[in-house]
Structure 1
Amino acid sequence: MPGKVTRRVLIGGAGGLAATSVAGKARAAAGGAISAVAASTARVKLRLLETSDLHMFVYDYDYYQDRQDNTVGLAKVSTLVRQARGQATNTLLFDNGDIIQGNPLGDYMALPGHLTRAGGHPMFRAMNLLGYDAATFGNHEFNYGLDFLKLALKSAKFPFVCANLETPDGKPFIAPSIVLVRDVVDEAGATHKLRIGVFGLVTPQIMVWDKARLEGHVTAPDIVEAAARIVPELRARCDLVVALCHSGISGTPRREGEENAALHLASVPGIDVIFTGHAHRVFPGPDYAHLDGVDTVRGTLGGIPAVMPGFWGSHLGIIDLVLNRHQDGSKPVRWTVDDFQVEARPIYRRQGRQALALVPDDAAILAAAAPEHAATLRWMEQPVGSTTVPINTYFSMIGNDAALSLVSAAQLWYAQPLLAGTPNAHLPLLSAASPFKAGGAGPDSFVDIPAGPLDMKDIANLYMFANTVCIVKVDGNQLHEWLERSCAIFNRIDPAIDTPQELTSARAPSYLFDTIAGLTYEIDLSQPERYDGEGQVIQPDAHRVHDVRYQGRPITGEESFLVVTNNYRADGGGAFPGTGGSHVVLQAPDLNRDVIVRYVMQAKQISPVAAPVWRFRPLARPVTLAFNGRAETAKYIGGRPDITRLGDAAGGFIRYGLRLG
């Protein structure tokens, strides 16, 4: 049941705040003394709604498999929004970023001239129909460059705010905040004006992940520091302060410039509501139950109501506040948050391995993007070539596969001519690739391309991000540490345990698992992780990676190598040793995905094989490593007695086991 919130006091009027909301919290700490002194004259129920990480999923459609997908889509979220509004008298709707990139519809719109010819961006046309009150940027808003973003924003009929995005001279790139003045109706039917301060925050890592597009044009200061600067001033002018924080939740100690800062943001005095996202998880929920300061049942971060609504339109975030208006003689009106409820409301439910829609599509939302949706489908059907073998990522986390072999082969094919005649042309050239779709987003998020014709949707399925090709120069020690960082995705395995043990950490995305073609090496799962999920060394004496060889001989720490990768990794995304600006020797203009397309087109027919790169080192005694798949996984197991089906798993997965001798 909802409980009382006595730690935050909302002050109406610029003169009604002693200094900042610290004073308000101090008064609230008196344990309800405010209510005892002041006469409560009104009670208002206010519903705040959030979408986040929509990633261009207007339609409930899987462009890669060319079929409807009940787990995604603004068209379904829209129905939830309309239902939620029908249940409440006073509502506001916000978006928390990662809007215009993430699927082939977004990539199609980013092609030269497409946005101009469309007469506006289809995602914003759809969002305009829902009447959003405000939004902030996500890190993927910058993937197509600032010029494209500025042009796309012209289609949005709602304001964007971001308090930690600045021009190099320290001026705001866009409005840091906005005060929304809204008429609200109390339980007695009387109308009051409520001033709602809204500010936005984006992950500072945009300066790493999109360095080539942003450097020299914008800067992205620390999330918590930016909030501490803006909240006091905003608090002084408003009755309620809402943070749109495109950042995840982490329990690691506070450090400047961190990516997942939502929990630390809650320590900034004066914030009443935190909308969070970026991590593609659902909160409230069990994912963050292990963190201090997080209430996964009530839905609070540091005691402040907070919600994270999944990704791709899987959920609608809902925070219901009960506000009490207080008038004490001639003193300014003040509002208190006396109660709240938090919910992440889903658009679907799992029944076995089926995803059943809980709400229908909103036809108006579909119509808003219909022309571009149809054009994207035609674009995705363009033939590229053919493959003589199936290409899938079912086994990417247990060994080598054809999918990553194809990516690396294309990257090497493209990079070699670019290096000819350069000072680094004589160095060994390697290729780093990671599985983007290895089940992390659900049982449908695997690559599964049958032998036969290949078209654009197959390549987009294989390489779903709009990354560009980069080459970095590393030495042997850095290369070894790169591989150690990559192995942080694996759990530590105990050889003394006979029951199946989970192979990978559920909180580690598969795109952080790089394999480096051109090398061979072993991974010892009995050892602890040397690196944590943030790329920090946590076990200095731990070493999982062994016997790293190039052309059959052990590499040395002093040797130099070139690694072709993508701009995200090359510029430091994931905090991998050997990456960052000082290591980059070539920034190519072409997308990695386009390179794969060109590679297949010139070959016409390909036969990618799972080239040997890495393997698990045998342990002291046999163990079973559990990993997720789906029913289709079984047809590719043939001839492998070391893999067995273990049974059904949560979320629609099927659990398989790898017997490691």
Structure 2
Amino acid sequence: MKEKLIILETSDIHGAILPIQYGTNSRTDVGLAKLSSYIKELQQTDEHVLLIDNGDFLQGTPLAANYVRSNQEEAHPMVKAMNHLSYDAAILGNHEFNYGLGVLERAARDADFPFLSCNIVNEEEEPFLGCPYIIKEFANGMKAAVLGVSTHYIPNWEKPDHISGLKFLDAVESVKKWVEYIHRHEQPDVMVVSYHGGFEVNLSNGEWIERKEKGENQAYRICTEVDGIDILLTGHQHRRMAETVNGVTVVQPGFSGESIGQVTLELAKGDGRYIIESATPHLIDAKTLKTDQDLIKLVEREERDTQRWLDEVIGYVEGDMKIDDPLTVRLAEHPLIELINRVQMEAAGADISSTALFHNGSPGLPNQVTMRDIVANYIYPNSLMVIEISGDDMRRALERSASYFSLDHEERPVVNPKFIYPKPQHYNYDMWEGISYCIDLTKAEGSRVVSLTHQGEEVKSDRMYQVVMNNYRAGGGGDYFMFKGRKVLKEIQTDMSELLARHFKKHGKVEAAVNHNWTIWYPGK
């Protein structure tokens, strides 16, 4: 007897329910409400459907941020939407921890489905939230197991108090242990692993695309070192993939609901159990789908409150703080970066600061500034930390940032492919205030910082300096390992978007200005 099982995967939705771009309120072809129509259609026409979210769903849009800021009496809007769609399970992604354990645990209580992760454990090494896997048994007796696993690199990014009491075990070793356990004790017909992580190698040629010892992404090792896996759902890298790797069917559906991953299994029953005869992976593009108006109505009140918050006028810019070309912003000082660094220094009482232009869609700030303009530029729920670093740490950090650039065949600066593939990492290039420095792009990586001074004196390798930066960077995020474990002098718990808003409300009008404390040199400049 032939049977069909459809496995649907969303991943890295990042709070995107509605098909809009909040910075401009323009319509887009992304979001869970676009995918919802397809999910419902399959659920209504085929009883053998397994619906899994692969993580990073609680954070990422103003809708999600406004819920945490002002309205935690009801369920998180993403949880409401996922309950509405009858998700079978969701995996814990790294961004689930951004708002702290209280918000995450509340979301887990409100969800009609379990949050899974076999390698995030408490101090007794029991799975956090109690769920490493689920077994779904269908009316015909077919059994599918879904094991959740998260990138164990989370402690390199997250605030320590947001993951207090938790351990993050190696993903590959944890999958080996639990897949063996599930096969022995549950005997499923289909073994699905849903991993909030991506691939550490280029699948076209097998070359490593990150350091072997890093461990942020381990999907290739899972496919090649763990026996007994039929399907591997992946994410985290925001890539779009539908592949077969070492006999394991793999999908990854991008981010923000731009597509949904699907694996269609054909099974036949024999010897008392179902055997997989074929597994076909593919992606369904949100552009081809209708918007589910019922899902939009479900979060209508939360969206209305969010829009009111975003439209609040908080101050004015005198001069030009808009962004036309993000590469230009990173090659020469821009008033927006200067402003962010100045606000960080003001909030922390520090005289050195670093920050990034977080994404290439940053529009800068218009003359009349609303909260919408702030969150369009500062997209993460970062708070600030003042850490003590050596002059050597500072120089190595600047060299890390300087590696963001390459020179093309005409010796013009372009973005180093390492910061684009497999996942864009524009947020890992920092610009500093409170020091003066020059970077020469004609030099080899690691020796591009040709001058570095603080208060008119050369920065000394063994001297200690106090620097304010966001919590992600202070923890070593973005491979800024020189900051990890450094002495923390102060923490400012208020989100940077709120600190920027307060700055405008306090001063009313902010001048668009730069002080030219750093230079990027390249031929032809």
TM-score, normalized by the shorter chain, greater than 0.5 = yes
- Alignment CA distance shift 1:477-1:55 (3 Å): same
Could you tell me how far 1:221 is from its partner in structure 2? 1.0
Contact 2:64 2:77 survives alignment (8 Å): no
Asked whether the 8 Å contact 1:134–1:161 carries over to 2, the reply is: yes
Report how far residue 381 of structure 1 moved: 1.5
Identity value in percent: 29
Displacement of 1:365: 0.6
Structure 1 residues 301 and 524: alpha-carbon distance in aligned structure 2, compared to 1, 3 A threshold: farther
Tell me how far 1:48 sits from its aligned partner: 0.7
Residues 1:325 and 1:397: Cα distance change in structure 2 (over 3 Å): farther
**Which residue in the other structure is 1:411 paired with?**
344
Q: Per the alignment, in what secondary structure is the counterpart of residue 308 of structure 1?
A: strand
Hey, what's the Cα distance between the residues in 1 that align with 2:228 and 2:444?
41
Aligned twin of 1:225: 173
The equivalent of 1:53 in structure 2 is 12
Task: Report the Cα distance in structure 2 between the residues aligned to 1:526 and 1:84, rounded to whole angstroms.
Answer: 56
Shift of 1:63: 1.8
Based on CA coordinates, which of the two structures has the bigger radius of gyration?
1
Contact 2:411–2:522 (CA<8 Å) still a contact in 1?
A: no
Per-residue deviation, 1:85: 4.8
Structure 2 partner of 1:436: 358
Query: Are positions 1:521 and 2:459 aligned together?
Result: no
Aligned positions of 1:156-171 closer than 5 A: 156-171=111-126
Amino acid at match of 1:511: Y
What is the CA deviation profile of residues 384-435 of structure 1, one whole-angstrom value per residue up to 9, with x for unaligned ones? 111012323423233221111110010011111xx7xxxxxxxxx2111001
SS at match of 2:228: coil
Could you tell me which residue of structure 2 aligns to residue 486 of structure 1? 401
Q: Following TM superposition, by how much is the alpha carbon of 1:359 offset from its aligned partner in structure 2, in angstroms?
A: 2.2
User: Match of 2:483, SS?
Assistant: coil
The alpha carbon displacement at 1:500 in A equals 6.6
Contact map agreement 2:439 2:519 (CA 8 A) in 1:
yes
Contact 1:224 1:261 in 2 (8 A): yes
1:261 is matched with: 218
Give the secondary structure class of the aligned counterpart of 2:482.
coil
**Structure 2 counterpart of 1:387, from 313, 317, 326:** 317
**1:476 deviation in Å?**
1.0
1:244 has 2:173 as partner? no
Give the equivalent residue in structure 2 for 1:457: 372
Q: Structure 1 residues 487, 500: closer, same or farther in 2, change over 3 A?
A: closer
Partner of 1:195: 143
8 Å Cα contact 1:45-1:89 kept in structure 2? no
- Equivalent residues in 2 for 1:218-617, closer than 5 Å: 218-236=166-184, 237=186, 238-251=188-201, 252=208, 258-266=215-223, 267-284=225-242, 299-327=243-271, 333-348=272-287, 358-393=288-323, 394=325, 395-416=328-349, 429-438=351-360, 445-451=361-367, 453-491=368-406, 493=407, 497-498=409-410, 502-505=414-417, 506-507=420-421, 508-529=424-445, 542-617=446-521
The equivalent of 1:209 in structure 2 is 157
Q: 1:53·1:98 contact (CA, 8 Å) conserved in 2?
A: yes
Question: 1:147 and 1:120 mapped to 2: Cα distance?
Answer: 13
Q: State the Cα deviation string for residues 315-334 of structure 1 (Å, max 9, x = none).
A: 1111112223322xxxxx34
1:147 and 2:102 are equivalent in the alignment: yes
| 1:98-119 deviation line (CA, Å, top 9, x unaligned) | 111111111111125x121xx3
Task: Call closer, same or farther: CA 1:194–1:487 in 2, change over 3 Å.
Answer: farther
- CA distance in structure 2 between the aligned counterparts of 1:431 and 1:211, rounded to whole angstroms: 19
Does the 8 Å contact 1:437/1:447 carry over to 2? no
Task: Tell me which amino acid in the other structure corresponds to 1:338.
Answer: E
Any idea what the Cα deviations from partners look like across 1:138-191, whole Å, max 9, x if unmatched?
1111111111111122221122211011111212212111111113xxxxxxxx
Judge conservation of contact 2:412–2:522 (CA < 8 Å) in 1.
no
Distance 1:325 1:544, change over 3 A: farther
Determine the structure 1 residue equivalent to 2:49: 91
Shift of 1:502: 4.0
1:214 is displaced (CA, Å) by 3.3
Partner of 1:292: none
Pick from 25, 32, 39 the counterpart of residue 81 of structure 1.
39
Instruction: Determine the C-alpha separation between the residues in 1 that align with 2:13 and 2:394.
Output: 35
CA contact (8 A) 1:80 1:359 kept: yes
Question: How has the CA–CA distance of structure 1 residues 528 and 133 changed in structure 2, closer, same or farther, with 3 Å as cutoff?
Answer: farther
- Tell me, in whole angstroms, the C-alpha distance in 1 between the residues paired with 2:58 and 2:388: 33
Contact 2:233 2:251 in 1 (8 A): yes
What is the DSSP-based 3-state SS (H/G/I as helix, E as strand, rest coil) of the residue aligned with 1:372? Answer: helix
Report how far residue 520 of structure 1 moved: 2.6
Q: 1:590-647 deviations in whole A, cap 9, x for unaligned?
A: 212221111221111001323324333233xxxxxxxxxxxxxxxxxxxxxxxxxxxx
Deviation at 1:67, TM superposition (A): 2.7
Q: What is the deviation of 1:528?
A: 4.7
Equivalent residues of 1:56, 1:312 under 8 A apart: yes
Match of 1:182 in 2: 138
Give the distance between the partners of 2:56 and 2:415, measured in 1 at CA. 30
Q: Deviations over 1:355-384 (max 9, x none)?
A: xxx322101110111100000000111221
Q: Is the 8 A contact 2:389 2:486 kept in 1?
A: no
User: Which structure 2 residue ranges, 5 or more long, are not aligned?
Assistant: 202-207
How far is 1:56 from its partner?
1.0
Q: Is the 8 A contact 1:481 1:577 kept in 2?
A: no
User: Residues 147, 386 of structure 1: CA spacing in aligned structure 2 closer, same or farther, 3 A cutoff?
Assistant: same
**What do the CA deviations read for 1:58-80 (whole angstroms, capped 9, x no partner)?**
1112222233222x211101123
Give the superposed CA RMSD: 2.1
* Other structure's SS at 1:168 match: coil
Q: Quote how far apart the aligned CAs of 1:335 are.
A: 3.6
The structural deviation recorded for 1:436 is: 1.0
- Of 138-147 and 339-348, more deviation after overlay is shown by 339-348
Distance 2:290 2:438 in 1: 49
* Distance of 2:322 and 2:218 partners within structure 1: 35
